């Protein structure tokens, strides 16, 4: 018997777009299908009309197609430069580099919302927009360029000297070129400059590999305690989620709000509520639970990317087009109903869904 899930708690400090804006998230494999459709590749023929419909929806302002940091990271795995450029081109055309906020930032805001009723100190976080633009936003970094001189920040001085309009135009073009370079993969002569501003794709891969190893480490434990796979596996996964994904974050959040751990977690039920009331973490727990039921599952970095991407997109986008395994696990758990998100696995269902889908992002605000 499936246990009753706790109510979701939505972070009030995460600024959501108006209800009239439908946010659409596509897995990388569906972007590849669109790239094939746009270049005349035989595999893309079934998606030509869908691509046209999506371009029309974007032009009409009825849909905003979004990227996330996981798209930028996964694009680095496409080895063929021509294919990478084709995918990057259709991504830019449909999204204009509209991007979701970094999942780690969203996790902090969700945790903050859980601590609000108990906290003696006000939240230390500012209001944060979910939707922004470019690779910086998708990794939680501020946009814009700061120019440092011998006496500190000289940005405004240079801006006044160059002229505000021209300076802003130069900065906007520089950020656009940065987004293009990171998305399509840098040319050899661009690597040094990108690394100078913090581009380290190998770091993200290493983190994902380490987290995949943590999941692999649970497999022999579950094999030894077979009752867990048959029973309350979700509780096991939720407890590990707090220990592995929130260990440092929770400690800092408690200190910042002058709370003790025992004030927040006093028993199994309060621990379950803390983990599963946070929307993005609930998606992560559900996917990990589904996949840990298979003792032969071989966890890879790609699984971590998929889980993190769905944990961000499913709660906060209106329409999500994903692959078979994620779609099955999430719809079986009825998270599409619970979060009022259209979950699709067939890209060609997208035009009809765009026409009929009624965004209800307001319900998230009233649920707190």
**Mean pLDDT score, 306-313:** 96
Going by C-alpha positions, the residue among 32, 48, 135, 40 that lies closest to residue 89 is: 32
Band of the pLDDT at 366, cuts 50, 70, 90? Answer: very low
pTM of the model: 0.89
What was the pLDDT predicted at 362? 47
pLDDT above 80 for 27: yes
**Mean pLDDT score, 141-156:** 71
Residue 63 to residue 56: CA distance in whole angstroms = 9
**Mean pLDDT score, 157-179:** 76
- Please count the other Cβ atoms lying within 10 Å of the Cβ belonging to residue 26: 27
30-42: pLDDT as tens digits? 999 999 999 999 9
234-260: pLDDT as tens digits? 999 999 999 889 989 999 999 999 999
* Higher pLDDT among residues 211 and 201, named by residue: 211
Reading the block at residue 109, the tokens are: 């805001």
* Higher pLDDT among residues 182 and 46, named by residue: 46
The DSSP line for 50-115 is: HHHHHHHHHHHTSEEEEB-HHHHHHHTT---HHHHHHHHHHHHHHHTTEEEPPHHHHHHHHHHHHH
Residue 343 is inside which H or E element, if any?
strand 342-344
**Mean pLDDT score, 15-23:** 88
What was the pLDDT predicted at 186? 66
Residue 271 to residue 264: CA distance in whole angstroms = 8
What was the pLDDT predicted at 194? 64
225-235: pLDDT as tens digits? 878 887 789 99
Lowest mean pLDDT among 48-52, 109-113, 140-144, 166-170: 166-170
Band of the pLDDT at 150, cuts 50, 70, 90? Answer: confident
What was the pLDDT predicted at 275? 93
User: What percent of the chain has a predicted confidence (pLDDT) above 90?
Assistant: 60
Band of the pLDDT at 189, cuts 50, 70, 90? Answer: low
* Higher pLDDT among residues 281 and 181, named by residue: 281
**Mean pLDDT score, 76-102:** 93
213-224: pLDDT as tens digits? 999 999 888 888
Reading the block at residue 337, the tokens are: 């109903």
Residue 296 to residue 291: CA distance in whole angstroms = 9
Band of the pLDDT at 67, cuts 50, 70, 90? Answer: very high
What was the pLDDT predicted at 161? 75
Band of the pLDDT at 169, cuts 50, 70, 90? Answer: confident
* Higher pLDDT among residues 185 and 48, named by residue: 48
What was the pLDDT predicted at 367? 40
105-138: pLDDT as tens digits? 999 999 999 999 999 888 999 999 999 999 989 9
Half-sphere exposure of 348 toward its Cβ, with a 13 Å CA cutoff? 7
pLDDT above 80 for 191: no
Q: What are the distances in angstroms from CA 167 to CA 149, 164, 173, 352?
A: 16, 5, 10, 43
What was the pLDDT predicted at 277? 96
């Amino acid at each position: 018997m499936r246990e009753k899930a706790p109510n979701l708690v939505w972070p009030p400090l995460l600024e959501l777009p108006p209800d009239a804006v439908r946010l659409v998230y596509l897995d990388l494999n569906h972007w590849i299908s669109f790239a094939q459709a746009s270049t005349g590749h035989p595999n893309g023929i079934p998606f030509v009309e869908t691509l046209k419909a999506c371009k029309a929806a974007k032009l009409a302002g009825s849909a905003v197609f979004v990227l996330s940091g996981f798209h930028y990271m996964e694009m680095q795995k496409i080895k063929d430069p021509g294919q990478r450029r084709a995918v990057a081109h259709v991504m830019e055309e449909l999204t204009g580099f509209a991007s979701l906020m970094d999942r780690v930032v969203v996790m902090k805001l969700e945790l903050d919302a859980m601590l609000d009723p108990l906290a003696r100190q006000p939240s230390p976080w500012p209001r944060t927009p979910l939707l922004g633009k470019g690779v910086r936003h998708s990794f939680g970094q501020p946009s814009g360029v700061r120019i440092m001189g011998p006496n500190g920040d000289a940005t405004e001085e240079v801006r006044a000297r160059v002229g505000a309009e021209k300076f802003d135009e130069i900065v906007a073009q520089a950020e656009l070129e940065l987004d293009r370079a990171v998305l399509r993969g840098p040319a050899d002569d661009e690597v040094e400059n990108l690394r100078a501003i913090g581009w380290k794709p190998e770091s993200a891969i290493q983190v994902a590999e380490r987290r995949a190893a943590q999941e692999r480490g649970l497999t022999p434990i579950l094999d030894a305690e077979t009752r867990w796979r048959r029973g309350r596996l979700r509780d096991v996964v939720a407890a590990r989620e707090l220990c592995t994904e929130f260990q440092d974050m929770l400690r800092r959040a408690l200190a910042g709000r002058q709370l003790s751990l025992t004030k927040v977690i006093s028993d199994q039920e309060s621990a379950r509520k803390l983990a599963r009331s946070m929307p993005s973490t609930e998606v992560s727990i559900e996917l990990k639970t589904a996949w840990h039921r298979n003792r032969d599952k071989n966890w890879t970095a790609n699984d971590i990317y998929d889980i993190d991407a769905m944990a961000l997109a499913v709660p906060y986008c209106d329409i999500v087009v994903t692959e078979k395994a994620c779609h099955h696990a999430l719809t079986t758990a009825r998270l599409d109903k619970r979060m009022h998100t259209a979950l699709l696995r067939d890209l060609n269902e997208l035009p009809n869904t765009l026409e009929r889908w009624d965004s209800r992002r307001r319900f998230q605000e009233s649920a707190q």
